[in-house]
Structure 1
Amino acid sequence: MKWRNACWEGDHKHLPVEVELDGRAVRPWVTWFIDCAKNAITGAAVTPHQPSRDAVLAALRIALSRDEPIGPYGPIGGLPELVRVDRGKEFLCATVTRALGALAVPVQDLPARRPELKGTVENLNHCVTAMFLVAQPGYLHAPTATTAPRPRRGDLDGLLPFAEFTARLLDWVRWWNTEHRPKPLGGRTPLQAWQDDPTPIEDVPPALLRSFTLEDAGGDKLLSTKGVYWRGRYYVGPWMHGMDGTRVRVRFVPHHDHEIEVFDAATGAHLGPAHLADAATAAQRAALRRAKDAQRRTMVRALASADRQRRRLGRYGAITGPGRPELLAALTAAEVEEQLAVATGLGSNLAKRALPDLIPPREAPASWARPVRRSHPSAPDGDAVPPAPGTPPTPDRSAAADGPDEEAEREGGRQ
C-alpha cells in the first residue's frame, strides 16, 4: 500500500519518563495513529494514566479531522481505507468499532504479541524514545556518572510539568511530520510525501465527525429551565435560552462528565455543548482527593494489621515426632470477644455510631384513639399508674378469699 490513507496503524505507548502532575510523579501514555505509506502521524492524544476509550476517540477525531492546517499534523488526515490495531481492549471496544463502522472503515484485528505485523507504529514507538525522550528530564533509563543509587522514584525535583511535557511532545510530532526525512521517503519529509501524492482525500463532515466519535447516552431528553438532566445531574449552556420543552439526545466522550454534546432528537442537528451545572472547584476536588487518599491509607494499614493478626493466629509449634501440631496463639475469652466485636463492627465504642441528630417522635394527633387509663384496686382514687407493658396481670385476691358458695351467690345475683 503505497498511497496515502490506504492503511493506518494505531497503538498505545507507555512513555519511560516521569512528569509532575498535581504534586505527583506520573508516567504518561500516548495514543497515536500513523499513515503506513507516508510515515506521517495523523493524530495523537496524551494521558497521565493508562488510556481508555476517551483517549482513543480523541486521537481518532484529530486524525480524521483536517481543520488545523498549521497544527502539529498540518493538512494530514482524512478517511483511511483500513485501520490496523492489536488486541487492545480500548481499541477494540464497541465505541471505536461503532465510530469507524459508521464511517465504513474496517478495523483489522491483529493477533497479540505480534509487533512485526504493525511495524510502522512500532518503529514510531522506538523512535520517540531514541529521538526525544532520552533528552528529557525524568527519563527513567538515563545512564549515571556514578555508582550512587538513583533518586527515589517519585521525587519531583527536576521533573517537567505535565503541560510543558505535552507541549514538547507535540512539537516533536510537528518536527517528525515537517522536518524529519526518513530514508524510505527518498529524502522528503512525511508532509512533503503526503502533499506529492495525487490520491484523492475523503474528508469527514464536521457534523458526522462530532456524532460518530461520541458515545450516545440512549433515549431522548427534555430541555427544561434547569437544563438537560443526565445521570442525576443538570447540564446547561447559553444556547438553551428559549428552548424549553425541546426533545434532545445526549452524546458524550467517555469519562468526560464535565461536558456533553446535545443534538436535536427529531433532526439530529447539533445544538451545542452543555457543561455541568454547579461544578465543584479545583480546591474542592483537591480536598476530596486528599480525603480519599487518607481513607485509602487507613484501609491499607487496617488490612496489613488484619493480615498480621491472621498469620499470628495460624502459627503452629514445631514437633519432633508424629502428632498434631499445637496452635501457638494464646488468647483469653475476653480478648476473642473484643476482637470479634471490632471485626464485625460491633465494637464497644457505640456512642460514635449513634445518631446524634435523631428526631424524637412527635405528639400523637388529637383525633387518634388513646388507651383508657384504668384505676388499680389498691388505689381507689383512680390516680394509680397502670402496670408497665409486659407485666403479668395481678390476680384478684378478694375473689380467691371467698368461698365457692359466696361466689355462686354473686354470680346468681348478677343474672
Structure 2
Amino acid sequence: MQHTSKLPNVGTTIFTVMSQLAAKENAINLSQGFPNFPSDPVLINLVQQALRENYNQYAPMPGAPILREAIAEKMKYLYRRTYNLETEIVVTAGATQAIFTIISAFVRPKDEVIIFTPAYDCYAPAVEANGGTVVPIQLKGTTFAVDWNEVRSKISSKTKMVLINTPHNPSGTVLSKKDMEEFSSILENTNIILLSDEVYEHIIFDDAQHQSAALFPKLAERAFITASFGKTFHNTGWKMGYCVAPKELMDEFKKVHQFNVFSVNHPMQIGIGNYLQDPQNYLQLPAFFQEKRDFFLNAIKDSRFTWKPSEGTYFQVLSYENITDELDTEFAKRLTREHKIASIPLSVFNTNKEDHKLLRFCFAKTEKTLAEAAKILNNI
C-alpha cells in the first residue's frame, strides 16, 4: 500500500530519544518531565474507594459532575471567573488530548495558527494534521521574552488561533500581567481563538501569581484553557486533564470530543473530584516545588553551568556556554553517555533549530536523585 503521510516531518520525539538513551546508559534521567516520587496516598485511597464503589462504567461525556463542580469552584476561587459546569467544562485524557481536540474542532486547511517557540512538541503536529499552517514566533534569546510588535505583524486574515503556554515549557518562564494585557489588546475585536496551555498553573515560584487567561475578560471570552491533573498531582501516567471555555466554543469542542474519546477514566475522576474539595492540595504546590528548585540550584552553585532561576514549571534551564561550543543536541547525548545524566536540548523546539547552548533539567525528583545529579554536574 502507498500513502502520503499527513505528518512527513515527524519522527521520534526528543523525549523518547533521551529517555531511551538514559535507560541504555543507566543514567539519571532528568530529561522527560515526570516525578520519581509517589502521589499523595490520600488521593490514591480516594481512587481506590471509587473503584470499590463501582464507578467503573462510562462517565458522563463531559466528565463526572463532582469533578466538573470542583473545577468550576477552583477557577472561581483562583481566577474570579465563573464557568458553567454543564456547558463550559470538559474532563479530558490529559491536556494533550484537549489541545488536539481543540485544534481539530476549529482549524481547517490553510488556517494559520501562531505558536511561540520553543514550543512543546505536540502543538505543531496537531495543526499540521488538520491541514493548518503553523506561524512560529521565536521567543527572544535566553530571556524568552515576547516581541509583541512581531505578534502584531504576524496576525493576518488567515489567523485562526494563537497558542500560548504559561508557565512555559521548556524555558520555565512566565507571562506577566503586562504581557497578558498587551496580548488582550492585540486580540480584541478579532475572531481569533486563544488556546492557553496552563498545565503548570500551580507550579509557580517566588510568590508570583499565575496570570491565567481567565483573569482577563477580553481573553477569557475567546479562550480555551487547558490544564493537567497529571502534572499537578504527580501522576502523569493517569493522563487526566480538562479544559474550560465559553459555551459557544465548548459546543464545537464537544462535537469532536464525543467521537475521539467520549469520556475518560471514571474512578480517577471521582477520586480527584473528592481530593479537590481541600484547596490546600493544590495551594501548597508552589512551595513544594520551589523547595526542590532551590535545593537543586544550591547544589550546583559551584558548577560551570549558569542559569536564571526557573519562574514556573518543574524545569530548570542551564546554560553550558562556559563549558563547550558543542551543539546542544550533541552535548546532551554526550552528557548521557559519558557522565550518566540525561537532559533535553532546547534547540529542537526552536524555529530553525536556534541553538543558545541551553539544556532543560527536570527537578521533580527526590532530593536523593537531585543530589546525585548535582554531584555529576559539579564535576563537568
In the superposition, the TM-score normalised over structure 1's length comes to 0.21
Larger Rg: 1
| Structure richer in helix, relative to its length | 2
Q: TM-score, normalised by structure 2?
A: 0.22
